[in-house]
Chains A and B, each alone.
Chain A
Amino acid sequence: MEYTKRKILTVTELTEEIRKILEGGFSSVWVQGEISNYKRAPSGHSYFTLKDDNSQVKSVMFKGQSRFLKFKLEDGLKVLGWGRVSVYSPRGEYQLVVETLEPVGLGSLMLALEQLKAKLSAEGLFEVSRKKSLPRKPHTVGVVTSATGAAVRDIIRIIQRRSPGVNVVVSPTSVQGDKAPGEIIDALNRLVVSNLPDVIIIGRGGGSIEDLWAFNDETVVRSVAMCPMPIISAVGHETDFTLSDFAADVRASTPSAAAELVVPDDRETWDTVSHLFARLKNGMFNCLSRNVQTLDEITRTFLQPLRRIQDERLRLQDLSDRIKKNALRMVALARKDLDAMLVRLRPDILTRTHNIASDDLMQLNGRMSRSIRLSLEDFRNRLSGMVTQLETLSPLKVMLRGYSITFKVADGSLVNEAQAVIQGEEIRTLVSDGEIISVVTNTSKTNKD
């Protein structure tokens, strides 16, 4: 081969050739893959790699296109992208310039919803602890919904049927379309500012998932979550939940269900209050009868002594009457006896009685004198016997048998042991017929074993 025939390219020329081929051949491609190494540059451009199990391709989505994405890019997301291949000459690299992206599997709307739900949930907006309880019987119910739909009619009809006294304030808004989120927030704010309702229903009748979309709007969901009054979401759909449902304090499946929840049936409430009132009366009645019973007992206890005093007084009266009657009768009887006795009283009977008494007296006198004399003699005999007995016990009698008693002359104390006296002391010894005064010349103690 001749050198001259060879076509020698510079690196730039080669790169330019490749660029022409690549950019010309892949100016519009659909690529499906998984996002990885996602980075959002400060410039607003998004850089990532699209990959599958065996290959990968660098990708960029410029700021202008990123703006229209309805969901957030994140690693691991499976996407279908449309764009073109571009070669970056300075680095000899090629990349996919992505114009549009949509998630594979979920629709982009649903993905956005999932993402927003995860974000708000992480913020704690759906926490059960944030939920306010509904008033049992509100005074005024606020309603945020379309003023022309069936929803508002159903709500008003049911509230008036169940609790006719409850006021309803409708804050009208459109509930679908691009302007709906802003209007819904305004309508809700008006109710909050008016401070009229104690509870709010926010919702609309049923529709497709797209029709309900305003209730998934982030600002609407946040307004619902931040509503200072208890709020019931009633976005008419049995199966699909909107994010407003999660943010509300209570979720009702339809506007009608919300109306049933928001006010009690007055007939039931009336029964409840009547029942309580009956219990109140009963309680008072029981208390009264308890007290009356106590009063009865007290009265009885107090009255008993009084009654007894009365009884005693009656008995006393009776007794005194009977005594009086008896006394009079006895006096009368006594007088009668006396009269009878007076009639029977005769002097001769008296005299005779006296004579008999005189004789008896003489006789008795003699008997008494004899008796006394005998007694005296007996007494004297017994006395002399006692004296003899006494004499045998006297120390004098003992002295006759040779015993004596010795006293000190000085103080007259009895000398009953040798040590009681000292030499030269005077002692007095009593014997049977007199005494002997002597002086102690010596003392000695008898040795006893």
Chain B
Amino acid sequence: MQPENMESTESYNFDSGLDELKSIVEKMESGGLGLQDSLKLFEQGVGVSRRLFEILSQSEGKVEELLADLERVPFSRGEG
């Protein structure tokens, strides 16, 4: 179950990451920050952006079927 949970956390991160990036940018644009604070925010913002771009770059989503015993198999029915 552990990997699944981590996957869920990642997906949660996209939304919260987007929120975080927004608030970072707004803080940055509001001005009045010292160089050091700005640099820290910038670094943070670059990190968040990179993660968001990484998630957006994933192009291999899995399509699976959840069986009665919770086992997952590649979903093939419904094709064709």
Contact = CB atoms under 8 A, between A and B. Distances in A.
A379 B39 CA distance: 98
Contacts of A137: 11, 14-15, 18, 55
B65 to A, nearest CB: 5
B44 to A, nearest CB: 9
Interface string A130-164: 00000111111010000111001100100110011
B34 to A, nearest CB: 9
Task: Give the contact-size bracket for chain A.
Answer: 35 or more
A32 interface: no
B8 A140 contact: yes
A170 B75 CA distance: 7
Contacts of B57: 165
A92 B27 CA distance: 89
Nearest to B46: A280
Contact of A168 (B24, B53, B55, B61): B61
A120 interface: no
B46 to A, nearest CB: 7
A276 B33 CA distance: 18
A400 interface: no
B72 to A, nearest CB: 7
Interface string B27-66: 0110101010011001001100100110111111111111
Contacts of A283: 25, 28-29, 38, 42
Contact of A163 (B25, B61, B66, B72): B61
Given A170-B66, A193-B70, A284-B42, A165 B8 contact: no
A297 to B, nearest CB: 15
A287 B49 contact: no
B56 A159 contact: no
Contacts of B42: 280, 283-284
Contacts of B15: 135-137
Contacts of B24: 280
Contacts of A153: 78-79
Contact of B22 (A165, A169, A276): A276
Contacts, number: 149
Given A165-B55, A283-B28, A170 B49 contact: no
A443 interface: no
Contacts of A326: none
A279 interface: yes
Contacts of B38: 283-284, 287-288
Nearest to B30: A283
Given A170-B63, A198-B12, A273 B21 contact: yes
Nearest to B44: A280
Contact of B56 (A266, A282, A284): A266
B69 to A, nearest CB: 9
A138 B24 CA distance: 22
Contacts of A280: 21, 24-25, 28, 42, 45-46, 49
B75 A171 contact: no
A138 B25 CA distance: 23
A12 interface: no
Contact of B8 (A152, A196, A282, A288): A196
Given A164-B59, A167-B64, A169-B72, A276 B77 contact: no
Interface of A: 135-140, 142, 147-149, 152-153, 156, 159-160, 163-172, 186-187, 190-191, 193-196, 198, 266, 269-270, 272-273, 276-277, 279-280, 282-284, 286-288, 290-291
Given A137-B14, A164-B61, A195-B1, 19 more contacts: A135-B12, A135-B15, A140-B8, A142-B66, A147-B75, A148-B77, A149-B78, A165-B61, A168-B62, A169-B66, A172-B77, A196-B8, A198-B8, A276-B22, A277-B45, A279-B29, A282-B29, A283-B25, A283-B28
12 contacts: A140-B8, A164-B60, A165-B56, A168-B75, A170-B66, A171-B66, A196-B7, A196-B8, A273-B21, A279-B29, A282-B29, A288-B38
